[in-house]
Amino acid sequence: QVQLVESGGDLVKPGGSLRLSCVASGFTLSDYYMTWIRQAPGKGLEWVSSISSSGDIIYYADSVKGRFTISTDNANNSLFLHMNSLRTEDTAVYYCAKRQYGDYVGFDYWGQGTLVTVSS
Amino acid sequence: IQMTQSPSSLAASVGDRVTVTCRASQHINTYLNWYQQKPGKAPNLLIYAASSLQSESPSRFSGSGSGTDFNLTISSLQPGDFATYYCQQSHSSPLTFGGGTKVEIK
């Protein structure tokens, strides 16, 4: 069955870096559009970044552009989020999510989330 | 595209019919999805493309609307439905979510 497992969340100081990983099973990552979505404590959902199935189309939220980088490792069926110059407002649970097949559709599978805390 | 949900919270009883509204700041056709989130859990896709029921979602959930105005309706609220519901537009980047509607027990 389809499963997404995130890891890499940690406590980091402002200005620090972190790499989040999302290992996919039950499907081939390179066949689907993948996304990172975050949720600050007690707040709503915020889209962070997406990568197309081919890897040639990438989008970032303005709040993370220039600081975060999304990437994939197809050999290991894994998705990554490289986070630099972290700010206190980046504190959140980060989810990876798989988009349904097709365009303009929803996210049908989500990981359990990994907590990133940015604090001095 | 800004997504505005209303109400931000509501209290209802088991068996009630509940409707949550989502309004987009510009026309998004039917590129609108609904999610349910329970505390400490990842969101779960309920409805996609405004009115298509995701597989394994109970049939008491339904979605309607197009353009800028959308509704999520729960025909008969069940104990497991007390949760927060989010709409999300998939029309264009940046993808955006509504602020959420918390459905609580009356």
One-letter-per-residue 3-state SS of A66-115: CCEEEEEEHHHCEEEEEECCCCHHHCEEEEEEEECCCCCCCEEEECCCEE
In which residue are the tokens 């081939």 written?
Answer: A28
How high is the mean pLDDT of chain A? 97
Q: How confident is the model at residue A52 (pLDDT cuts 50, 70, 90)?
A: very high
Cβ of A72 under 8 Å from any chain B Cβ?
Answer: no
Which chain A residues are closer than 8 Å to B92 by Cβ? none
The pLDDT > 90 percentage for chain B reads 97
- Cβ distance A37 to A47 under 8 Å? yes
pLDDT in the model for residue A103: 78
Distance of CA B93 to the CA centre of its chain: 20
Is beta strand A114-118 parallel, antiparallel or unpaired with respect to B9-12?
unpaired
For the four alpha carbons of A86, A51, B4 and A41, in that order, the dihedral sign comes to negative
CB-nearest to B88 from A62, A95, A106 is A106
In terms of Cα–Cα distance, which of B52, B40, B49 is closest to B83? B40
Q: Is B86 within 8 Å of A44 when comparing Cβ atoms?
A: yes
Confidence check: pLDDT of A101 > 90: no
In which residue are the tokens 């989330």 written?
Answer: A113
Which chain A residues are closer than 8 Å to B54 by Cβ? 106, 108
